Amino acid sequence: MLLIHCPYCGESRSELEFRWAGEAHIARPENIAEISDEAFAEYFFIRDNTKGIAWERWRHIHGCGRFFNTIRDTVSDKFLLSYKAGLARQPVPGASEPVEGDAA
Amino acid sequence: MTSHRIKGAGRLTPARKARFTFDGKIYTALEGDTVASALLANGVHLMGRSFKYHRPRGILSAGAEEPNALLDVARDSARCQPNVRASVQEVFDGAIIQSQNRWPFLSFDIGGINNLLSPFFAAGFYYKTFMWPREAWAKLYEPIIRRAAGLGVAPKEEDPDHYANRFAHCDVLVAGAGAAGLTAALSAAETGASVILVDERAEVGGALLFDSGIVIDGKPGYDWAHGVLARLKAMPNVRVLTRTTVFGYYNHNFIGLAERVTDHLPRPNKSLPRERLWQVRAKKVVLATGAIERHMVFANNDRPGIMLASAARMYLNHYGVAVGSKVGVYTAHDSAYEAAFDLKRAGIDVVSIVDCRAKPNEALLSAARVLGIEVLSGYSVVNTSGRLRISSMTVARNGSTNHRKIPVDALLMSGGWTPSVHLFSQSRGKLKFDAENQRFLPNIYAEACVSVGACNGTDEIGALLAEASAAGGGALNLSGESAYAWTGGMIGAAEGAGPDTAVKAFVDFQHDVTAKDIRLAVREGMHSIEHIKRFTTNGMASDQGKLSNMHGLAIAAEMLGKDIPQVGLTTFRAPYTPVTYGTLIAHSRGDLFDPARKTPLHGELVAAGAEFEDVGNWKRAWYFPRRGEDMHAAVNRECKTAREVAGIFDASTLGKIEVVGPDAAKFLNLMYTNAWDNLKPGKCRYGIMTREDGFIYDDGVVGRLAEDRFHVTTTTGGAPRVLHHMEDYLQTEFPDLKVWLTSTTEQWAVIAVQGPKARDIIEPLVEGLDLSNEAFPHMSVAECTVMGVPARLFRVSFTGEIGFEVNVPADYGASVWKAIWERGEALGACLYGTETMHVLRAEKGYIIVGQDTDGTVTPDDAGYGWAVSKKKMDFVGIRGLKRPDLIRSGRKQLVGLLTQDLTEVLEEGGQIVADPNEPKPMTMLGHVTSAYWSENLGRSIAIALVADGRARMGKTVYIPMKDKTIAATVTDMVFFDKEGGRIHG
Amino acid sequence: MAELATRAVPLAGAHGGTASVRLKPASSAHRISLRAGEDAVSTLSTTLGLSLPTQPKTSASSGSRTALWLGPDEWLVIDEGEGGLVEAARSSGAVHSATDVSHRNTAILIEGPGSSDALNGGCPLDLSLKAFPVGSCARTLFGKIEVVLLRTGEQSFRLECWRSFSEYAFGLLREAALDAE
C-alpha cells in the first residue's frame, strides 16, 4: 500500500485515503465546443499510460479533499514529487535532462 | 509408552504437562512443545502422507519451512484448522490433532497405490493427460484428482472466533529476533526510536534456540537473547511481538504481520482475538530473517525419521527430545557435525557422519574422533529403507558401487544454508548471485530497508553483531563466538541421484517433485525456471519452495548447462507463510462486513412492516405487505392507492449537494446540460448531467433557494461519484469560480407524499407557506416550517401525480413521518416502497439513470434532448455530444414497449430483434431496460433501448426467450396520463 | 398550529467499551460545514468568535465552539451551545459557504488509555501523541467509512461521522475496544 504525500496536508498518508485520478496536465480546451474531432479525441480519450516516470493526479478524497499532482515512477511505484493542483508540470527532481513532455 | 525426552535436556518444564490426541490416541506433551516435538517425544515420526504419491512422511524441520507434517488441529468441530505445520503449532491441553491425506489410516493408506503408479504421475502429467475432452475435466478428472490429492478439510461451521486488526507506525521494524534481530532492535531502541520487533516463534532467539555453540557478550547465546529481551520489554518505545509472522512486505515499507494470539492457549479468554492483523508503516525495516537449512537430494530422502540436522538439534536442545536412538548424519556442510556432537553428548548413538565432501574441516574430524563418531568423508547416502520410518541408510564412497547398509532410526541431513531473502525479494529488492557460496543475496534495495545477519550472507558472528548494531542506528559493542560459518554446502542433486538415475530423490516434499521431474521438464523444452516451476509445480505448494527452490534451480541449471543466474529465480510473493482468511478479514464480518446505512425513518418503516432491499449500502423500504399479501399484491395495491388517493415514500437516500456561492449558477451551467441562469429562486428544474463524452452520467431535480444557493439532488447510488465529479471540475478546471459544494444527503430526512390527496395530507403540518397550485405550483421549492422545525418543501413528482417532498432535519424525520402517515392513513393513503416507485415512474416514462441508461446513452437517445441547452457556450459534454457517432442515425433510443399479450411481463435485459425467424446470429436491435406489471393500466409495460426506436413507433418487435418468442409494439414511453394534467393537481 | 416534531438522535442508547476504552454517543450539537477562501478567514474568525485554524490537522476552540481544519478552504465548526453558526458566518459579510450539517453528522466520544489502540483498529493514521497531539484533527477512514477525528485529550477523542454510518462506527469501536491495551 502506497504512502502518498499530500501537498495540502503537508504530510504523507496511507493510500487508503486517496483516489487516483488519471494523467495530470491534460487541460480542458478553453474553446472545447469548437475543437476538431481529432483534438477532442486527443483531449478526452488518448492517454500515455507511461511505463516509468508519470505525471498523475490524485485526490486526498478521505482527507483534505484536494486534487493534486504527483510524479511517480510507475515501475518502482516511487513518488518523486507531489505538488498542488494548478502548478505547471514540475520537472523530475534530480533529473539533469528535461524529460520529454516538459514543455506541455 | 516410551518417552524420548532426555532428562536434563531442553528448556521446557517437566511438571507442566498438556494432553492431546493424535489420530484418536491420547498423548502427553509439555507446555511449550510444538506438535512436532510432542509427537517426537512420544516416538511418533509418521505424521502424514504426501500430496501426490501418498508416501509416508515425518517431520522434516523445526520451523516455518516444514513441507511434510501438515495436520488438522482442532479445539472442537468449528475450531478446526487444516494444513497446520506441526513444527509451528504449539500443543495446548485438549488439542485434537489428526493427520491428513490418508484413508483409511495413516499407517495403511489406500492412496499409497499412487506411489506404485508413480510413472504415470510424472511432471506435466496432469497437463498432458487431462486435456480433453473438456466435459470430462469438470465431471470426471477434477473431482477424482481432488479427492485423491486433497490436503486438509476446512470446517463447515462458521468460525466462532474473532479476529482483530491494528494499524501501527514505527521508526524501525525488525523482522526476526535471532542474534542479528535482537541486536538491531536494541541498538535502535537505545537511540529512542520506536521499534517493533517481530518473530514467528513463541520464543525469541532464532538459531540461538538450537545452536549451543554461540557465545555473545560472554554469555551462552540463549541466555544473552533473554537478557536482551528483558531490556527491550522494559523500554516504552519497544513492542515485541512473538508468534507473529511478517507475511508481507509491500510498497513504501507497509508491512503485514499476522499475530497468533490464542492458538497456543488451552482455554483462551473469549475477549481475545484468535489472531491479530498488524498493518505497520515503518520508516525503516531491518530484515534479520536468518537462513534455512537445505536438505540433501538423494534417493528416498523422504522417509519418516529423515530430517534437517538443525531440526534434530532444536528438538534436543530446546525441547529435550531425542529424534532417534541410532542416528546417521548425511551432510555437505560443517553445521551438521555440531548437531551430531550435541546428540552424542546427550547420550544418543550417532553411528556415522557421511560427508560428501572429500576433505572436511580437520578440527571437526578430530572432534568427531574424540567423541567416537565415525566420519565417512567422500561418501554419500545413496538410498534408505524402512516402510513407516527409516530403518537403514545405504552408503557408498563417491564414484564407487560398493554399498554398505547401516541400520539407523533417524538420519540428519544438511546441504548447507539458504539465506531467507523472501521478504527482501517481496520488497522488490534485486538479488545478486554469490557464485562462490552458491546463494542469492540482497543487492539493490527498493525500500528503506537493510538486511543483516545470515539473510544478508554475513557468516561470522562478530561481523553479524556489528552489522546488526549499525543497522539499528546505535552503537552496541558486542563480541561473539561461534563454532562454524554458515557458508558452504551444496545445492542440487547429490551423488546417486544424478541425471542417469530414476530414483525418487525429492526436491519439493510438499508437492512430491523429484530431481527426475525437474530434468524431465528441461528435456521437454522448459528452459526458464518460471516454466519449469509451473510444469513440475516445484515450489508451488504452500511452503513456497523454502527448501526446494535452490535445489530445483541447480538441477535445472546443470541440465541446461547454464549458470544459475541465467536460469533465473522465481519471484517470492506474499504471504511468506499461509495467513488465515480470518486474519485478513479481521473485523469485517457479520454486521461489520459492510456498513448498513439506514435512513432516519428506518424504525418507522420497520414498524410498518416494510420489506427492505439493498441499494448500494442503503437499506431501502421495498414494499409494505399487508397480512396475506405477497409482493405482487402489495405493489399492485400501493400503485393503485398512490394514484387514487396518495402514497407516502421515504426518499431520504436521494443524494443532496448544497451548491453555494456567487458563482453557483455559473458552475451548474457547466455541470449540467440545462441552463440555470434563468431559474428563479423558489423554483426547481430537472437537470441532466453528462460526462465530457456526452453520455448521461446522472440526473436529478435542482432547486434554487437563493441567488447564490442551490439544493441539488442526485440519484441514490450516484451521490458520491457526482460530488467527486463536480469537485474535480471545480478544483482543477474552474478553480476561479467562487462556489462550494457540501454533501447534505444525510442532513435531511425526505418524505415524499404523492397523489391526489398529497396536499390535503401535508397542508396542516406546514407553516408559513401557501400550498395552492397558484402560489406553489409544480416545480417549486420553499423554506418553511413543518411541525415547528425548519424545512425545505419541494413540489416535485416522480409519479406524475401532484407531489411534495418534505425535507426536515434528519433527527425530526421520524416524528414528521409519523404525523404525515397518521393523516395519510386517515385519508386512505398508503405507504409505498421502491418497487412501487419504479412502477409509477415507468408508467410516466421517467427514466432511472443506470437502469434505463448504461453509460452509452445521450440525452437525445433517452428522449430528453429538450434538456440540452442550445444557447450555452459551454458545459461538460458540449463537445462530446457533437461527435459523429453521437449524431448519426440509427442510434439506440429509449422507447416504450407494449406486449401484444397484455399479461406478459418482459424480462429486463431481454434482447430485441426485428425478425424472429432470422437465422442465428440474429441482429440485435437493443434490450429491455425496465419492465413491470402496471395495475393502474391493467397490462404490462416496458421501456427498452431500441436501434432507431423512435422511427419504429407502432411497429412490432420480438423478444426471443428460452422457451418462446414475445411480440411487442413500439410506443412512446409515457403510458399513463399522456397529457400530464394530473401532476398539476 | 400543528403539533411539534420531536427529535430522535442516532445511536440513542448505544453503549459499549471496556475498562480501558469508554464509548458513548456525543450529545446533539450544532455544526456547519464552512467553506471560504483565505481572504475571508479573519472576518469569519471574528464573527464566529474563534480563530479558524489555517494549519493542516489543527483545530481551535473557544467557549462552546470548535473549528476543525479539514482542508485548505474547509472547516467543520461544532457548537455544543446555543448555535447560531450560520448567522454568525453570514454576519461577516465575507464570501463563504456555511451549510448546516448538524443532523448529517453525529459523534462518538472515546475515552481511556486504550482509545488510540481502539481507533487504530480501523484508522490508518499515526495516533501517537507525537504525530497527533491534543487538538489534532483529520478527516480520515475508520474501517470502511469516512470519519473526522479530533483528539480532545491525551486519552480522549471525538469521532464524527455521517449518521447512517454511526451504527457501523460504534460497532467497530466496540469490537476494537475489546482488543485495545
Residue B621: which of B648, B639, B642 has the closest Cα? B648
pLDDT greater than 60 at residue B234 = yes
Chain A residues lying within 8 Å of B731, measured CB to CB: 66-67, 85
Neighbours of chain B (3+ CB pairs under 8 A): A, C
Inter-chain touch B815–C5, beta carbons under 8 Å: yes
Record: contact C72-A16, CB cut-off 8 A: no
Half-sphere exposure of B159 (CA within 13 A, CB side): 18
The answer to whether C103 contacts B661, with C-beta atoms less than 8 Å apart, is no
Q: Does pLDDT of C104 surpass 60? A: yes
Q: How many CB pairs under 8 A join A and C?
A: 39
B224-233, B564-573, B825-834, B870-879 — which is least confidently predicted?
Answer: B564-573
The pairing of beta strand B374-377 with beta strand B349-355 = parallel
- B660 vs B711: CA distance, rounded Å: 9
Q: How confident is the model at residue B133 (pLDDT cuts 50, 70, 90)?
A: low
B746 with C103: Cβ contact below 8 A = yes
Peptide bond into B442 cis (omega under 30): no
Sole residue written with cell 539473510: B455
pLDDT of res. C136: 98
Give the separation between CA C51 and CA C43, rounded to whole angstroms.
10
Predicted confidence (pLDDT) per residue in B52-88, tens digit: 888 999 999 999 999 999 999 999 989 999 999 999 9
Residue to mutate among B162, B167, B241, with most C CBs inside 10 A, is B167
Residues 6 or more apart in contact with residue B220 via CB below 8 angstroms:
B212, B214
C-alpha cell at B344: 552424542
Q: Inter-chain contact B251–A1, Cβ cutoff 8 Å?
A: yes
Of A9, A16, A64, the CB nearest to C141: A16
B253 vs A: CB within 8 A: yes
Chain C residues with CB inside 8 Å of B730's CB?
A: none
B11 touches chain A (CB under 8 A): no
| Per-residue pLDDT band at B670 (split at 50, 70, 90) | very high
CATH architecture of B295-415: 3-Layer(bba) Sandwich (3.50)
Specify the CATH architecture of the domain B163-292+419-481: 3-Layer(bba) Sandwich (3.50)
- Taking CA atoms, what residue in C is nearest to B814? C8
Mutate to test the interface with A, among C54, C57, C120 (most CBs of A within 10 A): C57
Determine the length of chain B: 985
Distance CA C29, CA C20 (A): 26
Mean pLDDT over residues B956-980, rounded?
97
Return the HEC string of B568-626: CCCCCCCCCCCCCHHHHHCCCCHHHCCCCECCCCHHHHHHCCCEEEEECCEEEEEECCC
pLDDT at residue B255 greater than cutoff 90: yes
Residue A8 is nearest to which of C72, C125, C146, comparing CB atoms?
C72
CB of A86 within 8 Å of a chain C CB? The answer is no
Residue labelled with grid coordinates 418543501: B793
For B:803-832, CB contacts with C below 8 A are: 808-816, 819
B468 in Cβ contact with B179 (< 8 Å): yes
Check CB contact of C57 with chain A, cutoff 8 Å: yes
The alpha-helical segments, DSSP class H, found in B18-141 are 35-41, 113-116, 125-129, 134-136
Q: How far does the CA of residue C76 sit from the closest CA of chain B (Å)? A: 11
> Which amino acid, one-letter code, is at B825?
E
The CATH code for residues A3-84 is: 3.30.2270.10
**Angle, CA B925 vertex, CA B920 and CA B930 arms, to 5°:** 120
For residue A45, what is the nearest residue in chain B, using CA coordinates?
B693
Chain A residues within 8 Å of chain B (Cβ atoms): 1-3, 14, 19, 21, 27-28, 32-33, 35, 37, 40, 44, 57, 59, 61, 65-67, 76-77, 85-86
Give the pLDDT of residue B228. Answer: 98
Subunit contact B746:C104, Cβ cutoff 8 A: yes
Of the options 3.40.50.1860, 3.20.20.140, 3.30.1360.120, 3.40.50.410, the CATH number for the domain spanning B842-984:
3.30.1360.120
pLDDT of residue A101: 45
Judged by average pLDDT, the poorest of B453-457, B478-482, B769-773 is B478-482
Cα separations in angstroms, B367 against B311, B362, B841, B936, C73 = 21, 9, 93, 101, 77
Domains and CATH numbers, chain C: 16-27+103-178 (3.30.1360.120), 30-100 (3.30.70.1520)
The complex's ipTM works out to 0.98
Query: Chain A within 8 Å of C71 (Cβ-Cβ)?
Result: yes
Q: Does B614 touch chain C (CB under 8 A)?
A: no
Nearest CA in chain A to B742: A65
Q: Is A17 on the interface with C (CB under 8 A)?
A: yes
Judged against a pLDDT cut of 80, whether residue A95 lies above it is answered with no
Chain C positions touching B765 (Cβ under 8 A) are 2
Q: Do B809 and C178 touch (CB under 8 A)?
A: no
- From A70's Cα to the closest Cα of chain C, the distance in A is 18
B445 at the A interface (CB within 8 A)? no
Fold of B506-562: Arc Repressor Mutant, subunit A (1.10.10)
**Distance between C28 CA and the closest CA of chain B, angstroms:** 10
Cross-chain Cβ contact A63/C72 below 8 Å: no
Q: Is residue A5 within 8 angstroms of chain C, CB to CB?
A: no
- A102 pLDDT band (50/70/90 cuts)? very low
CA distances to B163, B175, B204, B270, B272 from B262, in Å: 10, 21, 18, 10, 7
Instruction: With beta carbons under 8 A apart, name residues in chain A contacting B880.
Output: 40, 44
Cα atoms in the 13 Å half-sphere on the side-chain side of B936: 24
Q: Among residues 634-673 of chain B, which lie with CB inside 8 Å of chain C?
A: 658, 660-662
- Domain layout of chain A by residue ranges: 3-84
Domain boundaries, chain B: 1-158, 163-292+419-481, 295-415, 506-562, 652-826, 842-984
Distance from CA of C19 to the nearest CA of A (A): 30
Is the pLDDT at B113 greater than 90? The verdict is: no
Q: What is the pLDDT of residues B482-523, one digit of tens each?
A: 877 777 889 999 988 888 778 999 999 999 999 999 999 999
Task: Inspect the interface and report whether the beta carbons of B588 and C144 lie closer than 8 Å.
Answer: yes
> Number of helices and strands (H, E) in chain C?
4, 11
Per-residue pLDDT tens digits for B322-356: 999 999 999 999 999 999 999 999 999 999 999 99
Q: What is the pLDDT of residues B890-924, one digit of tens each?
A: 999 999 999 999 999 999 999 999 999 999 999 99
Domain B652-826 has CATH 3.30.450.20: no
Does any CB of chain C come closer than 8 Å to the CB of residue B618?
yes
Inter-chain residue contact A66 with B728, CB threshold 8 Å: no
Assess if CATH 3.20.20.70 describes domain B1-158: no
* pLDDT-based confidence at residue A96 (cuts at 50, 70, 90): low
Q: What percent of chain B has pLDDT over 70?
A: 95
Grid cell listed for B785:
416550517
User: Which chain A residues are closer than 8 Å to C146 by Cβ?
Assistant: 62
The pLDDT of residue B146 is above 60:
no
What percent of chain C is predicted at pLDDT more than 70? 99
Element (H, E) at B70: strand B70-74
Q: Which of A12, A8, A19 has its CA nearest to residue A87?
A: A8
pLDDT tens digits for range B534-590: 999 999 888 889 999 999 999 999 999 999 999 988 788 999 999 999 999 999 999
Give the contacts of B721 (CB within 8 A, at least 6 positions apart).
Answer: B698
Q: Is B506-562 in the same CATH topology as B295-415? A: no
| Residues on chain C touching A14 (C-beta within 8 angstroms) | 124-125
Q: Which chains touch C (3 or more CB pairs under 8 A)?
A: A, B
pLDDT, tens digit (0-9, with 9 covering 90-100), for B794-804: 999 999 999 99
- Classify the phi-psi angles of B555: left when phi > 0, otherwise alpha if psi is within -120 to 50, otherwise beta: alpha
Per-residue model confidence (pLDDT) at position B147: 56
At residue B116, the pLDDT reads 67
Given this model, what pLDDT does residue B502 score? 81
Give the Cα separation of B544 and B566 in Å (integer): 21
Query: Could you give the CA distance from residue B629 to residue A56 in angstroms, rounded to a whole number?
Result: 56
Residues in chain C within 8 Å Cβ distance of A64 = 56, 70-72, 74, 139
Torsion of CA B101, B107, B111, B113, to 10 degrees: 150
CA distance B186 to B288: 13
Which helix or strand (DSSP H or E) is residue C159 part of? strand C156-162
Q: How far is residue B47's CA from residue B37's CA, in Å, rounded to a whole number?
A: 12
Q: What is the mean pLDDT of chain C?
A: 97
